[in-house]
Chains A and B, each alone.
Chain A
Amino acid sequence: MARTDHAGATRSLTRAVTALALLAAAVIALAACDRGTERPAAAKSITVVIAEYSKDYTKPFWQGLAEQYTKQTGVKVDLRIVDWNSIDQQVSTMIQNNQRPDVLNLNSFSSYAKDQLLYAADEVLSPKTRDDFIGAFARGGEYQGKLYGFPILSSARAFFYNKDLFTRARLAAPPKTWDEFVQAARKIQGLGGGVIGYALPLGPEEAQAEWAIWMWNNGGDWKSGEAWTINSDKNVRTLQFLADLANRHRVTQVNPGKTNRTDGAFQLFKDGKVGMVMGFSPLAAQLDAEKKVSYGVAEMPTAVGQAVTLGVEDYLMAFKKSGNQEAVKQFLDLYYQPENITRWITAEGFLPVTKSGLSQMSANEKLRPYLDALPNARLAPTTDPAWDRVKLDVQQTIGLAVQPGGNPRQVLDQLQKNAVAAAGAR
């Protein structure tokens, strides 16, 4: 017994020593590898996260681009097309788990720049690409004087009106001033039979966009210089004006503070129930496809003389990761080749962000009202990281001000307070 025990012990000892030796060899091998890669190895694949603008065009375009890129560079692309509803969540989760994307497309960028996660333009874009950006959009992607949010595409809002309802209400032309607008809305609402003068969507989906257009066309703004001015007297009067549309003139759909844009205001307009709504080119595309409503597109009604519209700029960002700079640069340069970026923007029905794209697309008659509006378009203050919180706060609160009994001043005071706090936060 003792001998077998002894033999057994020897055997396990031998095995342990062998294992140890193997382990040591492995460690040495690993260490050797490590020494061999003092410079970070060039990335063999990159993760690209793109928001889904449409089911028809987004995925095919980016898949094609990724294949072209892999063929040219040998670098694989992990392409993820994510819908707008869950993209914030997915990106946040990726960053929490330290699995950052290499290239990300989103409607905000400055918080990422603030967290020092991004390459600046001069690190990953060729000078030719940088010079091609339209000035206003390049400035819209700057954080502390450097370009981090590379414009990917843009859009502009425009004022849509139902021509049949305008004819029935004996309105010759779309309203140019706020007074004319209220008159028009009352006449259309007065047609009866469930017809609505103006569809006002101040529900959480896109309230900040609807609000901004009204705010600017009354001479107000989000900020003055570096200071937030959400509760300025002008803005209080504007919000009171919107509340009056709902509760005093009664020319909106029911509960405008609780109506979203896509399945609320747009749906009603597409159904021919609404005289006026603020839309954008994708709404025009849907209306053209359905052929149910005869509509016109005009400038926003304004109380200050010069009509202002909202321009929206979305971004591409390049995340700093060891060894990925060259791969990311090549990918971005491929996207920004004029034929690629313009082909995609045209397919999706959006507006250009590059000078070359602008000159190519200006021939398109359908885009004329939006392109004409572009010089007078203003952007949301996306260059300020606090905006990412302010936007969500506006979405979750401003609708309450236009409900019966709502208090516009109180709502704006609270928004202002929160904005100042967000600006001061880490």
Chain B
Amino acid sequence: MVVYPVIALVRASLSRYSITGLYQGSVGAANYARLVEQEAFVPVVANTVMWVASIVAATVLVSLGIAQLLNEDFAGRRLVRWALIVPWAASVIMTSKLFVWIYDYYFGLLNHLLTSARLIAAPVDWLGNDTTVMGAMIAVGIFVSVPFTTYVVLAGLAAIPGEVYEAARVDGASAWRTYRSVTLPLLRPALLVAVVLNVIYVFNSFPIVWTLNDRNPGFAHDTMITYMYKVAFKSSLRDVGLAAALGVVNVLLILAAVLVYLRTVSWREADG
């Protein structure tokens, strides 16, 4: 059952389809060659690397901080822990639409806040300006990825036995030193899981870029996932075979990225 869609995808990537979707025969590897020739291909790959790397890195950093905070005992901790679930439980499409309004040039909350606080002199068209749209999308990506990652880190923190902290205290280690030498190394398995799952999830994420970038013509801010959809249905290419070839490349790329990551980490582990 898992294999069938993969076979279908590979088969489609070796075929030619009319604009209506009608099968017109096999073309061998021609779609793959044409894919690389597309003017938008290299920028889209660069966007994707930027999109995945910055969201995963920022998400892990932010989640480490929030998880540490939520691991402490304080009044209302249960409430905050529950509240954290909201951006995760909400549909990503709804969250994206909400952010379209937050970022809006004329009606948006963000411009209102920033101009009132005199942080910016004039409103910014966050989603229409080529220099800000990627950052605006990445921020939403981080927002929806943090809750899950925080919970993974929290679980990791809960698994660290109290004795090791006592030992560190006895040794007279500072709080920062304890965090670096005790907490972080013991969090490694949790972080490993968090990074791998986030890389896959963020790479495959469609709704954020699709929704926030829908006003922009061309492919300048697309990732490989949204580009694949545009190649199939929303660009003058309208080519299902070409899109399927990109789909195969996407799957291989994400597998390779995860494998390389796991190799590097376990190699370092063995080394350390």
Contacts and interface: CB of A to CB of B under 8 A. Distances in A.
Contact of B217 (A89, A93, A96, A396): A396
Contact of B236 (A254, A268, A390, A399): A390
B217 A400 contact: yes
A202 B128 CA distance: 12
Interface in A372-396: 385, 388-390, 392-393, 395-396
Contacts of B127: 258
B216 interface: yes
B106 A273 contact: yes
Contacts of A257: 217
Contact of B128 (A89, A112, A117, A255): A255
Chain B facing A: main interface SS:
loop
B116 interface: no
Interface of B: 12, 17-24, 100, 105-107, 125, 127-129, 214-219, 229-230, 232-238, 240
A398 B24 CA distance: 31
A111 B18 contact: yes
B184 to A, nearest CB: 43
Contacts of B107: 271
A95 B218 contact: no
Interface in A391-426: 392-393, 395-400, 418, 422, 426
Query: Which among A93, A204, A388 has the greatest number of chain B C-beta atoms within 10 A?
Result: A204
Nearest to B216: A258
A307 B219 CA distance: 35
Given A92-B233, A254-B125, A389 B238 contact: yes
A204 B213 CA distance: 10
B21 A396 contact: no
A92 B232 contact: yes
A194 interface: yes
Contacts of A258: 125, 127-128, 215-217
- List the 10 closest pairs (A to B, CB-CB), nearest first: A92-B21, A95-B21, A393-B236, A255-B128, A258-B128, A399-B217, A389-B236, A203-B215, A96-B21, A392-B236
30 contacts: A91-B20, A91-B21, A92-B240, A93-B21, A111-B19, A112-B20, A115-B18, A117-B20, A194-B106, A203-B217, A204-B214, A204-B216, A204-B217, A207-B217, A253-B106, A258-B216, A259-B215, A260-B215, A388-B19, A389-B236, A389-B237, A390-B236, A392-B236, A393-B235, A396-B219, A396-B234, A397-B217, A398-B217, A400-B217, A422-B236
Interface residues on A, range: 35 or more
A88 interface: yes
A94 interface: yes
Contacts of B19: 111, 385, 388-389
A264 interface: yes
A205 interface: yes
A325 to B, nearest CB: 20
A203 B12 CA distance: 31
A418 B39 CA distance: 14
A395 B217 contact: yes
Contact of A400 (B18, B129, B218): B218
Query: Which among A96, A202, A254 has the greatest number of chain B C-beta atoms within 10 A?
Result: A96
A398 B20 CA distance: 24
Interface of A: 88-89, 91-96, 111-112, 115, 117, 194, 202-205, 207, 253-255, 257-260, 263-264, 268, 271, 273, 385, 388-390, 392-393, 395-400, 418, 422, 426
Contacts of A115: 18, 20, 22
A169 to B, nearest CB: 19
B30 to A, nearest CB: 14
Nearest to B220: A400
Contact of A117 (B22, B23, B105, B129): B22
A42 to B, nearest CB: 25
Nearest to B129: A255
Contacts of A273: 106
Contacts of B106: 194, 253, 268, 271, 273
Contacts of A194: 106
A316 B107 CA distance: 40
Contacts of A400: 217-218
Contact of B218 (A268, A389, A397, A418): A397
Query: Which among B18, B215, B229 has the greatest number of chain A C-beta atoms within 10 A?
Result: B215
Query: Which among A255, A257, A399 has the greatest number of chain B C-beta atoms within 10 A?
Result: A255
Contacts of A117: 20, 22
A385 B235 CA distance: 15
Query: Which among B23, B128, B230 has the greatest number of chain A C-beta atoms within 10 A?
Result: B128
Nearest to A390: B236
Contacts of B240: 92, 96
A260 B21 contact: no
B244 to A, nearest CB: 10
Contacts of B219: 396
A255 B130 CA distance: 11
Contact of B238 (A112, A207, A392): A392
B163 to A, nearest CB: 56
A95 B217 contact: no
Contacts of A390: 236
A284 to B, nearest CB: 22
Given A202-B217, A255-B128, A396-B234, 18 more contacts: A92-B20, A92-B21, A92-B240, A95-B22, A96-B21, A112-B20, A203-B215, A205-B215, A253-B105, A254-B125, A255-B129, A271-B106, A385-B19, A392-B238, A396-B230, A398-B217, A399-B216, A399-B217
Contacts of A89: 229, 232-233
A426 B27 CA distance: 14
Given A115-B18, A388-B238, A392-B238, A254 B105 contact: yes
Nearest to B22: A115
A203 B216 contact: yes
A30 to B, nearest CB: 26
